[in-house]
Amino acid sequence: MTGGSELSSYLIDECGHGGDLASARALDFSGQPVFALACIGAPDPAMLAGELERLRRVHGCGPGELKSTMARLPQFTIDLASFLKRNHCPIFIELVDKRFFIAAHIVNHLLCGGLNVDAVPMPVRNAIAEFLTDEALEPVFLDYLTLCRDPAIGGVRQILDCLWERLDTSDDDIARLTQYLTMEARDRALSVSAELADFLPLHDQTEAGRKVWILPNLQSLTNIYARINQSRPLGLNGATLIHGVQLQYGSILSGAKVQIEQLAELGAIPPMPFADYRLSGRAEMRFETAAREPCLQAADILAGCAMRFAREAGAARVGKAAVMRDAFFALLALSRPERAEGVNLVFTYRTLARMGVPVHDMR
């Protein structure tokens, strides 16, 4: 069974810490440079839970919760992917390079804040974010994260000045375009009417009252929601998103889902490739533990496999990446772009080339 109202349960879990990137003090992100959010559509959750127990015995995993840290993760993932394919269980994975994610925020907020997508199209923004990621711009990135935590228009001007000076040493075409946008942003920041909201992302607030700014798990969840919408010809009504328990960010994620639904009703979201934000209906969402929803273990395994392969391959750790390669490509083989199913890679083209992932460069 695929799509439509017969598929009701979507199991979602993450790996790689999807918390606030603005809290980072270094761009190694404490050894977790990649974030993964995985979702599995389960037409028959009981059957999926039974398969997990069968694979537990086959691979000698022992008792307790199945986790992506287990030694037999690669072969377990390959066997699980085979089951998902046979039983028409769609997968939706968001795999995010955190450094590139920050670069995209710098482009969309610092350089293009207040400008509509027609003024600077998304392919151009992505190319600039890739350029910023591949350049030695760590001080700019870290200063931007600091500015999110302690916002001031004077800080905005200082970062733009710093970026201008660094870009002035490059003759690359994309550097010239980035410098032009930096010049325009500096002019806007020097205006007496300049507002921080035109240069920085709006903050969210955790259930404990802590402010947070740049959450890869938030954007990943909303994109998966839009991808599920694209995959269901009969709409989202009757679907339930079952997310692994979130002690800190549950209210933020729930609020983002509601906000996307409201924007969709207003027709305020432009069309995007491989994800349909023009939502038809609404899914329910709740947070559960793996003890109550055993199928969440499957989502954790997929997220862990994808994250670990991308982390090692992106860092050119050939030996470690090779262990996970077959499992990761088994997940890639489940892709059905016309239904937005599979793995969405939020990475630079250069990193994807290191990972050996075939892509069509749209620049």
For 37, 93, 151, 196, the CA distances from 148, given in Å and listed in that order, are 24, 28, 5, 10
Q: Is the CB of residue 136 less than 8 Å from the CB of residue 99?
A: no
- Tell me what the pLDDT averaged over the chain comes to: 92
Q: What is the pLDDT of residues 224-281, one digit of tens each?
A: 999 999 999 999 999 999 999 988 899 999 999 999 999 999 887 877 778 999 999 9
* Mean pLDDT, residues 303-325 taken together: 89
Tokens of 184: 């325009």
Instruction: Using DSSP, state whether 288 is helix, strand or coil.
Output: strand
Q: Is the CB of residue 11 less than 8 Å from the CB of residue 40?
A: yes
Higher per-residue pLDDT: 26 or 117: 26
Q: How far apart are CA 147 and CA 5, in angstroms?
A: 45
Q: What is the pLDDT of residue 361?
A: 56
* Mean pLDDT, residues 156-180 taken together: 90
* Mean pLDDT, residues 303-330 taken together: 90
Higher per-residue pLDDT: 362 or 46: 46
Domain count, the chain: 1
Q: What is the pLDDT of residue 21?
A: 95
Q: What is the pLDDT of residue 3?
A: 41
Q: What is the pLDDT of residues 60-80, one digit of tens each?
A: 998 899 988 888 999 999 999
Higher per-residue pLDDT: 256 or 18: 256
Report CA torsion sign: 74, 351, 27, 202. Answer: negative
Alpha helices by DSSP H, the chain: 45-58, 73-86, 98-105, 122-134, 138-149, 153-167, 173-190, 216-231, 250-266, 296-314, 318-332, 349-355
Instruction: Using DSSP, state whether 10 is helix, strand or coil.
Output: strand
Range of the domain at 273: 1-363
Q: How far apart are CA 338 and CA 341, in angstroms?
A: 8
* Residue 197 neighbours by CB distance under 10 Å: 12
C-alpha 144, offset from chain centre? 20
Q: What is the pLDDT of residue 69?
A: 87
Q: How far apart are CA 227 and CA 40, in angstroms?
A: 12
Which pairing describes strands 284-288 and 342-346: parallel, antiparallel, or unpaired?
unpaired
Grade residue 1 by pLDDT with cuts at 50, 70 and 90: very low
Instruction: Using DSSP, state whether 186 is helix, strand or coil.
Output: helix
For 122, 123, 186, 193, the CA distances from 180, given in Å and listed in that order, are 17, 17, 10, 21
Rounded to two decimals, what is the model's pTM?
0.94
Tokens of 104: 């995209």
* Mean pLDDT, residues 104-128 taken together: 91
Nearest to 19 by CA among 273, 350, 356, 248: 248
Q: What is the pLDDT of residue 6?
A: 63
Q: What is the pLDDT of residues 175-187, one digit of tens each?
A: 999 999 999 999 9
Q: What is the pLDDT of residue 2?
A: 41
